Amino acid sequence: MKILLIGYGKMGRAIEAQAIARGHQIAGIIDPARPEARITDFSPAEVDVAIEFTHPDAAFQNVTACLEQGLPVVCGSTGWLHHFAEAQALSQQTGTPLFYASNYSVGVNLFFHFNEYMAAKMHQFGGYDVQVREIHHTQKVDQPSGTALTTAEGILRHFPGKTRWRNDAATEAHELAVISEREGAVIGTHIVTYSSPADTIELKHEAHTREGFVQGALLAAEWLPGRQGVFGMQDLLGL
């Protein structure tokens, strides 16, 4: 495939290396450090799919430009979901597919699946409170992480005692605490803890490298062209 990389940070470079290793071509690179290239310079004849990993402030504009150009786009930027309904509408209007995930790791998406199952079971028995904790490197901009938000939303759907999340310790019983920590070079750790006076149960995912994210993003990029609609990892993995 011919891939347009939007964002050339750690993830962009890792995707480039893996894409070439899998026999794909890099059709172009869009990045503030390379201002000579713009998304509007590329057409579907030159690009099979775009992969976007940038900054919350730039992501929606980049996704919009891809959809308007007719470029299928796989987006991994978080922190822009207040615009997601607009992106969905534009995808439908243009007939150009959009793939979004807060986290592209296959392991993390299994974690999401088990998280919802666990929440649905735990609330049946009472006596437990639940909390989400996420730990990332100090350069991560958005807080809480997109993965933590997806985790929290999964709990809220299946644990009736919680009605909203709070990015701090809970002050009311119906709040779900989502604790964010930034330290060192931690790639990403997410922990869901259920506590009662009798015991504690934890569900944890810890990323050791970025390879899982890269592989998932490339799987999505290989899967997306030729489809219509808005998709996520559940569609890709059949969860």
Catalytically annotated residues: 136, 140
- Gap between the Cα atoms of 88 and 220, Å rounded: 17
Q: With contact defined as beta carbons under 8 Å apart, do 51 and 24 qualify? A: no
56 vs 63, 103, 113, 170, 233, CA distance in Å?
11, 14, 25, 26, 20
The HSE-up count of residue 9 (CA atoms within 13 Å, CB side) is 12
Helix axes 84-94, 56-69, angle to 10 degrees: 10
DSSP β-ladder status, 164-166 and 129-136: unpaired
What amino acid is encoded at 168 in this protein? D
Tallying the residues shown for the chain, one arrives at 239
201 in helix, strand or coil? strand
Q: With contact defined as beta carbons under 8 Å apart, do 141 and 56 qualify? A: yes
DSSP β-ladder status, 49-52 and 73-75: parallel
